[in-house]
Amino acid sequence: MDKNKIQKNFLIKILCFITAFGVWLYIYNVENPTRSYKLTGVPVEIVNTDTIESSKLTVLPNQDLTVTLTLEGPASEVYRAKAEQFKIVVDLSTYAVKKGSNLIPVEITQYPTNINIKKNESLRVNVEIDEYIEKSVPVKLEVDVTTKDSYYPFEQVVKPDNVLVSGAATYVNSVQWVLAKGSASNADADVSLNLPLKAVDETMKEVKDVKINPTTVDVLIPVRKSKNVTIKVPTKGENNKNIIIKTIEPDPSSIDLVGETQDIGNIEYIETEALDLSTITGNNTVTLKLALPKDAKPVNGKDTVSVKVTVETINQNSVSVPVTITGLSAGLNAEPSSKNISVALKGTDSLLSNIKDGDITATIDLTNLAEGEHSIAPKVKVKEGMTIESISPEKLKITITKVVKPEE
């Protein structure tokens, strides 16, 4: 086929297309025949919902209500119709509704004037109705407060501590708390916050579509200066004679107090209630109440402290001690009836089991004594912490004689 013939056929096709398009334009714009058209997904609005609250009912939220409209009119209009050109409502003030599903007629209040809507009187939508309830719910705080050094936040105070949650029972019944979240940093004075509330269930997931009244709460966090002070343990009574109390140690040995600066500024230490020594029979840990100042509180919130008491048992032990003679005049000789004495000691196990040379001494002073027999009590000295129960014998017989010089 030659080139001229191809071009001729192409021109004929273009002319046919233009002619057909022109005929369509004529029919659509000049003749404009009547046509029917189904418009789907036209939204339905529910109005006057408050009128059913007096009957303790409410519309379940998040219902996507739509209808399909059968439109009739000029082709140029019905084919260009859009859902937003129509306003369709369900008026709850004109119908008696109940809990559950309610099939309610709709009312078309706005639509293009040159379009008819066929069978509009049969249009209905299914509206879900639930009980309208309200309940009091506690406020749960999640407020993070950091303070400057040596300052401490007290217990947070929230007002009100309960609020009303209302709406569809399906949603309200799942609300466990209303949550107030906030924060404050570097605080050295009382912190006041007004925080919005959010309804949450027992898993802390937000429950939407409920009303909260009031919508905010006021939170006060008192912030006070702190001071570290030592703990002292006073005592009363006398301890058992068979023990020695070695240490009395509070745990912790100090505590952080918080309060107004003028109230805690001069406090250097605090005492516990008196420890009754007569009740101590061995190593023990007791709990004693702190004698806290009127306007100061412990940071840890505890008003008691553990006190560890360690003791040593007192026992008796007899030790043989060599006797040392002093003060003997020159030219004399002294012979004691025994070179050792037995000393009964009383003391702690640690002392009695670790006696060293020099811890116990026994001496007899013969100063200014002449020849002959003498009965003398030795002087015994013991290491500090030991006491002498008895000495045996109490006196030694000392025989003093002249030293005999050998003949030359």
3-state helix, strand and coil shares in percent for the chain, rounded to the nearest 5: 15, 55, 30
Out of 99, 130, 161, pick the residue that ends a domain: 130
Out of 174, 190, 224, pick the residue that ends a domain: 224
Using only the alpha carbons of the chain, give its radius of gyration. 53
CATH number at residue 281: 2.170.120.40
Q: Output the pLDDT for position 183.
A: 94
- 27, 123: one domain: yes
Q: Output the pLDDT for position 5.
A: 61
Q: Output the pLDDT for position 3.
A: 59
Longest Cα–Cα distance in the chain: 179
Residue 330 lies in a domain: yes
Residue 294 lies in a domain: yes
CATH number at residue 123: 2.170.120.30
Residue 105 lies in a domain: yes
What are φ and ψ of residue 344, in 5° steps? -85, 120
Distant-in-sequence, close-in-space partners of 75: CB < 8 Å, separation ≥ 6: 28, 32, 33, 34, 35
- 375, 324: one domain: yes
Q: Output the pLDDT for position 31.
A: 52
- 232, 214: one domain: no
Q: Output the pLDDT for position 10.
A: 67
Q: Output the pLDDT for position 407.
A: 62
Residue 75 lies in a domain: yes
- 145, 199: one domain: yes
Residue 408 lies in a domain: no
What are φ and ψ of residue 220, in 5° steps? -115, 125
Residue 149 lies in a domain: yes
- 286, 218: one domain: no
Q: Output the pLDDT for position 86.
A: 94
Residue 326 lies in a domain: yes
Residue ranges in the chain modelled with pLDDT below 70:
1-10, 12-13, 17, 19-32, 407-408
Q: Output the pLDDT for position 123.
A: 92
Instruction: State pLDDT tens for residues 60-116.
Output: 999 999 999 999 999 888 889 999 999 999 999 999 999 999 999 999 999 998 899
- 119, 33: one domain: yes
- 211, 269: one domain: no
- 97, 205: one domain: no
Range of the domain at 272: 226-313
Q: Tell me, yes or no, if the pTM score tops 0.85.
A: no
Q: Output the pLDDT for position 408.
A: 46
Q: Output the pLDDT for position 287.
A: 93
Q: Which residue has the tokens 């409209």?
A: 69
Residue 407 lies in a domain: no
- 145, 56: one domain: no
Q: Output the pLDDT for position 266.
A: 83
- 17, 117: one domain: yes
- 249, 347: one domain: no
Q: What's the domain count of the chain?
A: 4
Closest CA to 288 of 242, 226, 228, 236: 236
Out of 313, 347, 378, pick the residue that ends a domain: 313
- 47, 153: one domain: no
